[in-house]
Amino acid sequence: MLSFILASGNAHKAEEFSELFKDKIVVKAAPRGLSPDETGETFTANALIKAKAYYDEFQLPSLADDSGLTVESLPQILGVQSARFLPERADYKEKCLEIIRLLQTHENKRAYFTCVLCFYISPSEIYFFEGRVHGEIGNEYRGDKGFGYDPIFIPQRAENDGKTLAELPEWKNLNSHRAKASLAALDFFISR
């Protein structure tokens, strides 16, 4: 069974990954959090920076993820900079409301979440997996089950009921960008 330390100090996130991997890949919290400079221009580059930093520090296979929201009409903001959008506003609700405001004059509200996972087993064995969920930005902030930009993101799904990710916790657990990347990784590692 493969085992990785998570390139994050968040123990709860390690548990979430273990659940996504159906206990076929074990993910443990790192002994302590590190703060590598995420200077990459892509999700893949930042995931690699984090995974390598944790591997180098703890000498254990590491798993890192980098994710964010891309809004087609606002390509200059968010994306790989999602977590750093409006740094003076710590509250994500304010950030969400600002995105809604910025999109008021745009017809195209299409957006997508991306997650890239980096499995850093050794310097010569590194794997990347990407997951995306497509949708659009809604006109209001709704839902209390998500975090970050979930309350303004309406995913594409068969029901087409206009619910945001923050109103769909069960759906998100199975269909999110992180879930898709995790499933791709699980399929790969099981079939190796």
- What span, in angstroms and rounded, lies between the C-alpha atoms of 40 and 66? 10
* Total Cβ atoms within 10 A of residue 81: 13
Q: Find the helix or strand (DSSP H, E) in which 130 lies.
A: strand 125-137
Taken in order 112, 79, 93, 51, is the CA torsion positive or negative?
positive
Candidates 37, 66, 91, 150; catalytic one:
66
- State the maximum Cα–Cα separation within the chain, in Å, rounded to a whole number: 51
Residue 56 known to be catalytic: no
**Which parts of 22-98 are beta strand (E)?**
25-29, 62-71
Residues that are catalytic = 66
